[in-house]
A and B are shown apart, each in its own frame.
Chain A
Amino acid sequence: ILNVEQSPQSLHVQEGDSTNFTCSFPSSNFYALHWYRWETAKSPEALFVMTLNGDEKKKGRISATLNTKEGYSYLYIKGSQPEDSATYLCASRSTDSWGKLQFGAGTQVVVTP
């Protein structure tokens, strides 16, 4: 059983629509929450690292929020484009395993023109 859960597992979005999805993680001993973007046949690429409750990060049309007290993070894509099609992974770190990332299974996003 994964400690880090992502939902939904996959979603299809029309070009131009906005979407969001969730990452749930253990709130006890929380240290950091990472988001990665993973395109097919490529390596995962870091999007955001968040450490503080209430953190909000933004990169272009993609943004993320963090709630460490209840153990969840949302990732938002505004005005989805076909190039946003990828699997989005979240990973949490705890204070009792500093360097280890616990990954979720990912949310696969498919943006259709």
Chain B
Amino acid sequence: NAGVTQTPKFQVLKTGQSMTLQCAQDMNHNSMYWYRQDPGMGLRLIYYSASEGTTDKGEVPNGYNVSRLNKREFSLRLESAAPSQTSVYFCASSEAETSPTNEQFFGPGTRLTVL
């Protein structure tokens, strides 16, 4: 099992460019999440998908869109990148949003720089 995979690992964009971060999991999990990690801020939830076909905003959704393509894949799109979106992005998945333990498994992260 690969677990949670993310592509790309690194990306540099110019302000105004768009890109899509890809995430896939092979654990048959129902729920998937996108976080960003900034120094001193901890992990902040951007969007999540409790189950296939549903998506909801997290703490910091502005400037992002998501697509839950199928049960395995959850993509994050930046339509017009801004320097404030320079961050490390983590995708995670869990068995079910409401399970008592709801352990989330994280991907390796994408380091994005917007110039």
Stretch in B18-26, B40-48, B61-69, B70-78 with 4+ CB within 8 Å of A: B40-48
Q: Which residues of the other chain, A, contact B100 by a CB distance below 8 angstroms?
A: 32, 49, 51
Q: Among B4, B97, B103, which residue has its beta carbon within 8 angstroms of that of A98?
A: B97
User: A2 near B97 (CB under 8 angstroms)?
Assistant: no
- Tell me the B residues contacting A by CB distance below 8 Å: 4, 31, 33, 35, 40-45, 48, 50, 58, 90, 94, 97-98, 100-109
Nearest-CB residue, chain A, relative to B41: A105
Can you give 30 contacting A-B residue pairs, CB < 8 Å?
A2-B41, A2-B42, A32-B100, A34-B103, A34-B104, A42-B108, A43-B90, A43-B108, A43-B109, A44-B106, A45-B106, A46-B105, A49-B100, A49-B102, A51-B101, A89-B43, A91-B43, A98-B98, A99-B48, A99-B50, A99-B94, A99-B98, A99-B102, A100-B48, A101-B43, A101-B45, A103-B42, A103-B43, A104-B42, A105-B42
> Interface code A63-81, partner B: CB below 8 Å = 1, 0 otherwise?
0000000000000000000
Size of A's binding interface in residues, CB under 8 A = 22
Kindly state the separation between the CA atoms of A106 and B58 in the bound complex, as whole angstroms.
20
Q: Which residues of the other chain, A, contact B40 by a CB distance below 8 angstroms?
A: 105
Nearest-CB residue, chain A, relative to B30: A99
Q: Among A89, A99, A100, which residue has its beta carbon within 8 angstroms of that of B42?
A: A89
Q: Which residues of the other chain, B, contact A101 by a CB distance below 8 angstroms?
A: 43, 45, 104
* Least distance between A57 CB and chain B CB atoms (Å): 11
Kindly state the separation between the CA atoms of A45 and B92 in the bound complex, as whole angstroms.
11
